Amino acid sequence: MALAHAILASLIDRPCSGYDLAKEFDGSVGFFWQATHQQIYRELSKLEAQGWVISKTISQSKRPDKKLYQVTELGKQQLKEWIAQPCEPAPIKDDLLVKIFGGYAASREVILEELERHRQAHLERLSTYKALEQKYFQKPQELSEQAKFQFLTLLNGISYETHWLAWCQQAIKLLS
Amino acid sequence: MALAHAILASLIDRPCSGYDLAKEFDGSVGFFWQATHQQIYRELSKLEAQGWVISKTISQSKRPDKKLYQVTELGKQQLKEWIAQPCEPAPIKDDLLVKIFGGYAASREVILEELERHRQAHLERLSTYKALEQKYFQKPQELSEQAKFQFLTLLNGISYETHWLAWCQQAIKLLS
DNA sequence: GGGCACATGTAACGGGTTACATGATTAA
DNA sequence: TTAATCATGTAACCCGTTACATGTGCCC
């Protein structure tokens, strides 16, 4: 149920509408947890029914009304408890590796093309992440507590993309 | 629909029962794609209905009967086509990163404990993978075509675990 | 006039998870 | 005698995906 807790963690920063949350899950939070707006609206309804968040409807003149969600004390406690519960590392689950595994059923050329496409994609993500690092996290020792945690998720992304990039290159080399 | 194709790829090696497949998805294939026996039986029924695999029932005296599944020509073609279709890199989706993201809502100690647990887990997986590398893939240049592809999935696992291990250490350092 | 940003939803479907169910053989 | 291995399945539920639905204001 990490979606619920990812929403709680996002809402603690500042009250948000479902729409705002969907944008976050499309950007920063989306680096490590993805969700569509439909999932978010569904989850918010559930969270409100459980009393983990409450909403206020804000009337707007020039835009549609919106519901601002806020985390309740109960919600904060639930988040804290969830964080304290041990969890297992997420297993890898990647289409490309299934393709490699079945690779000798296809032509070498096709596999190499796909590997090259992925290499390119990982390279692009990596440079996006590095740009963010440059922009927001130049001096790691001087970051606020909150920023340190965000920085760590970004570092994970950088490390992850670096790993994939290196593996793609290795794979291309071995198969060429 | 990578599950269907992961099953096809496994079955091309040798005909298998659902039970056999479930064991593979718990071991080697499970390094990059996981599935329970229920998923596998469900998927096999679908694959047979589509004509991608066919089954023979084998009567056994001292064990329950079993169904051996084999890939059809249509199935092979479908696998080949699926491999040729470009796919996107799998996004990260990891509970631990959600915890880190919401980390300032919990106590530092709890977070550090969890990071240490994960560091340990990744270390163990890494050494499992390295042992497999030692055992089966000592001379990469001399591997059969088929073995090369398997080797690459293992290399990916090694690279992945190395990345996580390094990140956990970095995170522990930054938060200590 | 077209398209994007804002804003929230319903409905249907498919894949993944968990629990339940059965029943023989073999090794500790 | 207890547990593990072999072997296949049903049922219910939850989560994720995709399509559909609505409607205003603003900028080009």
Q: Do B90 and A80 touch (CB under 8 A)?
A: no
- Distance from the first to the final alpha carbon of chain A: 43
| Nucleic acid strand D within 7 Å of B22 CB | yes
pLDDT of A62 over the 90 cut? no
Closest residue (CA to C1') to nucleotide D25 in the complex: A62
Distance B99 CA to C24 C1' (A): 46
Distance B7 CA to C27 C1' (A): 32
Residue type, B167: W
Residue B7 tokens, joined: 């099953």
SS (H, E, C) A35-82: CCHHHHHHHHHHHHHHCCEEEEEECCCCCCCEEEEEECHHHHHHHHHH
Which residues of chain A from 133 to 172 reach within 8 Å of chain B, CB to CB? 140, 145-146, 148-153, 155-157, 159-160, 162-164, 166-167, 170-171
Predicted local distance difference test score (pLDDT) of residue A141: 83
Task: Tell me the pLDDT tens digit for each residue of B75-132.
Answer: 999 999 999 999 999 999 999 999 999 999 999 999 999 999 999 999 999 999 999 9
* Spatial CA neighbour of A9 closest among A66, A68, A82: A82
Check: CB of residue A63 under 8 Å from CB of residue A19.
no
Please state the rounded mean pLDDT for residues A124-153: 94
Torsion angles phi and psi, residue A71, rounded to 5: -80, 135
Predicted local distance difference test score (pLDDT) of residue A64: 85
Can you state the angle between helices B2-13 and B37-50, rounded to 10 degrees? 80
pLDDT of B68 over the 90 cut? yes
State how far the alpha carbon of A95 is from the alpha carbons of A50, A64, A161, B21, B36, in Å.
36, 40, 16, 18, 17
pLDDT of A107 over the 90 cut? yes
Across chain A, what does the average pLDDT equal?
A: 96
More confident residue, A64 or B158: B158
pLDDT of A89 over the 90 cut? yes
Q: Which residue has the tokens 């470009």?
A: B86
What is the rounded CA–CA span in Å between residue A91 and residue B30? 9
SS3 state at A91: coil
Q: Angle at the Cα of A131 (from A128 to A134), degrees rounded to 5?
A: 155
Check: CB of residue B112 under 8 Å from CB of residue B176.
yes
Task: Tell me the pLDDT tens digit for each residue of B19-51.
Answer: 999 999 998 999 999 999 999 999 999 999 999
Predicted confidence band at A140 (pLDDT cuts at 50, 70, 90)? confident
Predicted local distance difference test score (pLDDT) of residue B61: 79
Predicted confidence band at A34 (pLDDT cuts at 50, 70, 90)? very high
